[in-house]
Structure 1
Amino acid sequence: MNTIITIGRQFGSGGREIGEKVAEYFGIKCLDKELLTRAAKESGFCEEMIKSHDERPTNSFLYNLVMDTYSFGYNASSFMDMPISHKVFLAQFDTIKKAAEEGPCVIVGRCADYALHDFKNCINLFIYGDEETKVKRIMSKYSLTEDKAKDMIVKKDKQRQSYYNYYSSKKWGRADSYDFCLNSSVLGVEGTVKLIIQIIEDFENQNNPGGKA
């Protein structure tokens, strides 16, 4: 097993659960909230600060400055001048790359596919679902009414979309931003997991590149 798997997901699609089950099958780590704890330790930021900016959009005019840091590297002075939201993103960005360099894993959300765009041993997935299925899942998980579940789904997806579109050069949820987009409502969580396992095994057989490009 040599593949890094990134999973973008609609809220309520079961993306995290699917990621955990795929990771369990292959005997590798599934990194989601764990990335925040690690990013805090490695960057020196307070973990609560990292969590408060997790997958949340920003409207800072310093966007282009941050984009430049990916291409040219950031120096101490430009880093100090950045808004805290950008510093938090860069801390997560670095942590994601370090985790991928350590070996195969599943990484959920947080623009991981963009952070790892130069990793040839990476498969990028997006999990979405039918509204009815997502609403039922969220109603059950959080003990919400149907209307509140719908509102929560809309809010969370808007946050994720804004965050992804802001920090990456791609569009959240659009097919050409990923290798595969899968509707988890069609086969259910278990069926979607089986399909992903087949995709990864075929990818391993055909493309085993031996690591980072």
Structure 2
Amino acid sequence: MGKYYITIARQFGSLGRPIAKELSEMLGIEYYDRDIVEAASKELKLPVSVIHSEEEKSVKSSFLNMLFPLGTDSIDKQDKIFEAQKKIITDFAEKDSAIFVGRCADYILKDYPNVLNIYIYAPEKERYLNCVNALKMSPKEAKKMMEEVDRAREQYWHRYAGHSPADFEYTHLMINSSLFGIHDTSKILATIAKDRFM
């Protein structure tokens, strides 16, 4: 079996990151998340905090495109960050099998063979509880982050991939992490990946 790739898009608070980490341990392959941001920050000579803020900035693209058809500094910076992260993802993919969390990896790897695109979600109440209990956020901060980060991710995907991260036309598997928890969700995904790729 040659190289294979798993991409994970997720709702904020659905615990997609710890699931990806445990899944990578079960499959014995690397997973990339913040590593992509860190590599992009080196490439562009920008602090990691700038990459994060530009990625998660709300891109009101239709309004901004009408006002600034040739772009703005912020839009230009976002485009440069996307292109840098795209190259980093493909460079990591050339090395070996891997799991990629977020950052339009499903779109970036769309022409690669052996890709499994997963979307992890959970009901709003469960995500809220995860934010407060597991991520140690205040109730107010949890609600705000759930709303703003999900909106920013939607807009990011629409801008660069042309579709929603949860669009079933581009997603092979959607799973409700609240039904199974981190460990069992990872186990289910590992079983599916092994059956498909091994």
Query: TM-score, normalising length from structure 2?
Result: 0.86
Gaps of 5+ in 1: 67-81, 206-213
Q: Is the counterpart of residue 88 in structure 1 residue 92 in structure 2? A: no
* Worse-matched range after superposition: 163-172 or 97-106: 163-172
Distance 1:13 1:64 in 2: 36
Query: Which residue of structure 1 aligns with residue 93 of structure 2?
Result: 100
Amino acid at match of 1:152: M
Instruction: Provide the C-alpha distance between the structure 1 equivalents of 2:55 and 2:189, rounded to a whole number of angstroms.
Output: 26
Please give the residue correspondences for 1:12-91 in structure 2 after superposition, counting only pairs within 5 Å.
12-58=13-59, 59=61, 60-61=64-65, 83-91=76-84
Amino acid at match of 2:42: K
Secondary structure of 1:98's aligned partner = helix
Matched, 1:201 2:194: yes
Partner residue in 2 for 1:173: 166
CA distance in structure 2 between the partners assigned to 1:159 and 1:29 by the alignment: 26
4+ aligned runs moved over 6 Å, structure 1? 62-66
Equivalent AA in structure 1 for residue 30 of structure 2: K
1:156-178 per-residue CA deviation (whole Å, 9 max, x = no partner) reads: 11111111111102222222221
Question: Per-residue deviation at 1:152?
Answer: 1.9
Give the 3 Å change call, closer, same or farther, for CA 94–149 of structure 1 in structure 2.
Answer: same
Q: Corresponding residue for 1:6?
A: 7
Distance in 2, Cα, partners of 1:61 & 1:29: 38
Cα RMSD for the two superposed structures: 2.5
Contact 1:3 1:200 in 2 (8 A): no
CA–CA distance in structure 2, aligned partners of residues 150 and 176 of structure 1: 29
Structure 2 distance, partners of 1:191, 1:18, is 9
Q: CA contact under 8 A between 2:55 and 2:156: conserved in structure 1? A: no
What is the alpha-carbon distance in structure 1 between the residues aligned to residue 58 and residue 117 of structure 2? 21
2-side partners of 1:57 and 1:148: how far apart?
17
After superposition, what is the alpha-carbon deviation per residue over 1:130-174, rounded to whole angstroms, capped at 9, x for unaligned? 122111110013433434422221111111111111110222222
Return the TM-score normalized by structure 1. 0.80
C-alpha contact 1:56 1:159 (8 A) present in aligned 2:
yes
Match of 1:76 in 2: none
Letter in 2 for 1:61: N
Amino acid in the other structure paired with 1:5: I
The one-letter code matched in structure 2 to 1:33 is: R
Matched, 1:124 2:117: yes
Shift of 1:85: 1.3
Shift of 1:40: 2.5
Asked whether the 8 Å contact 1:57–1:166 carries over to 2, the reply is no
Output the CA distance in 1 between the equivalents of 2:26 and 2:137.
32
Larger CA deviation: 184-193 vs 169-178: 169-178
Separation in structure 2 between the aligned mates of residue 119 and residue 182 of structure 1, nearest angstrom: 23
Give the total of aligned pairs.
191
The 1:49–1:201 alpha-carbon spacing in structure 2 relative to 1, beyond 3 Å, is same
2:166 match: secondary structure: coil
Asked if structure 2 preserves the Cα contact closer than 8 Å seen for 1:6 and 1:125, the reply is yes
Residue identity (%): 31
Change (3 A) 1:4 1:161: same
8 Å Cα contact 2:56-2:149 kept in structure 1: no
What runs of 5+ residues in structure 2 fail to find an aligned partner? none
SS in 2 for 1:5: strand
